[in-house]
Structure 1
Amino acid sequence: MRTFHVVVFVFIFLFAVQSASRGATTEDRQPLPTPVMRTVDPETVKAGAVATVSGEYLDKSRVAEVYLTDGKVDVKVEIVEQASGALKFRVPENMAPGRYNLMVLLVDEVPKLIEEPARLRVE
């Protein structure tokens, strides 16, 4: 009987250690870097034109979609080219003239929209 208790104790101990080590890996995950858009070139564009935004972490692993926003209306833009340090996008043909901020939809477990400090003017 005593041998049985020892075997059960060892089994429970090993199961607890294995469960604890699995839980530690999910809790110890590093947060993903947040994309930062710094500058837009050119700063003024016509509807239908392509603009380039420079920054950090702008590749497909972090940025799913890009929007132009005036605080009231968000308009999705077409991403033409995407790399970590720069992203090219096409302003929609029907975009109303005005000043817009760029906003990104993050690739994440829970997707998030982040308004960026980069701005552009549409003529």
Structure 2
Amino acid sequence: STKNGTNVDVWTSNGGANQQWKFRPVGQSQKSATVWYRPSSAQSRVRVQWRVYGSPDTTGGTEMTKACGGWWKATVPSAGSTKVGLSFSYGSTTDDNGGKLYDVKGESAAVSGGQAVTDVTPNCAATAKQ
């Protein structure tokens, strides 16, 4: 057998007849994760940065969208089943869990007050303005 890039070729001898198989990795689609964040004060802009731990790690960042009740949300691609480190920035403030990042895993995560909870969506009640 030989390895050719990401392909593996295997040869066998079966009663004098050679057989050859080629194996190629099949990419598995990973689900994205919805990330919720509530800063300690009202903000006009919030950004999330992430590190999806894998082989190799991937990083990225995006502006978050204002959701409700002071919460902001964003989608982290290819992170649903993989551990992700998160940090948030707004104004001159960076919230990165004291430099350790907020490590989460799941299809959703909420971060507020220095704590991260996975597989949760904030309960935002819609109210009419008086």
Pairwise TM-score range, normalised by the shorter structure:
0.3 to 0.5
Higher strand share: 2
TM-score (norm 2): 0.36
Higher helix share: 1
